[in-house]
Structure 1
């Protein structure tokens, strides 16, 4: 049954991302123009992330910060929207999660899924080999644009506190759970809450 659910999941990912990219192409173009006209640098932000089974891939997002932001100020840490490295357009994109839309291309390619654990960078907060056996379970499925963590705690807790929720998703995965998460994601985006972490630990709304 799990294999069947995974097959259906991939079909939904492929057709959902393909149709989604076509339908929202005018929005993507508008966002791209807004970024290009209001700040120096590329429209897109590409960064290596850990995918399924620890495989490294390049995630695609709209750029919301100044170029080389990770080498300025607090590096990878972004504690609030008042961070002066975030562009004016970037603040809006982050608050609405529109910066994540280009990841539909990652889903279409098969690097990601619409629903799954969020992919961390390869070297922070841990390298893949430094995760415990329990923690590595979160990598048994493809990373997602959204996930169980995003519709429960979103970015309001530390990375270590999010991992058990990711593992719970992997263990309980089925298509109906994915559908529920997708609907709850829309509600979370409209509420625009818990975008930045509320502690001194690494935020998951990172540099881009």
Structure 2
């Protein structure tokens, strides 16, 4: 029992000491706060009073709208049609006027440099067999016929520019020169132009006369 009383006394003493220390600390803090508050209040009182009322803003002057005077009602004026000047009568001088014949204008053919002589159709309705020339097949022959080339003499007479023109249109550049179409066509023209050698006419034998049959002599 005495031991318990001693322990309680010690605890009370410790609590008292702790309370004193905490109280002293809080007191210092409150004192510092009061000093700061006093300086703030003193500064606020020393500052001049500011009139917080805003100055009234005057509205900008509004320009008066200028209203144009309304035009008085006017009656519409009808526009008068212009008068036609009198046309003097044409004097008829003996006989009807000559009629001018209007000639049709010739269509200008566009320049096509290097264009060879082309035909609308083969001569006498029969075209040469162009596939005889080396390098010309059925497809190229149909292309040449479509351009207007049907005969050997047409190809034989081509110049370098005309050959280049044909090459551009059939889509085979330098083929005519490389395969010598012109030289082959010249030889074919020579062979076709040479007249065929005439064969000597054989002498026809005169038909033999029938021999007269011997007649039997009648007995005397």
Larger radius of gyration: 2
Higher relative strand content: 1
Relative contact order (alpha carbons < 8 A, sep ≥ 6): 1 or 2 greater?
Answer: 1
User: Could you state the TM-score of these two structures normalised by the residue count of structure 2?
Assistant: 0.17
User: Could you state the TM-score of these two structures normalised by the residue count of structure 1?
Assistant: 0.17
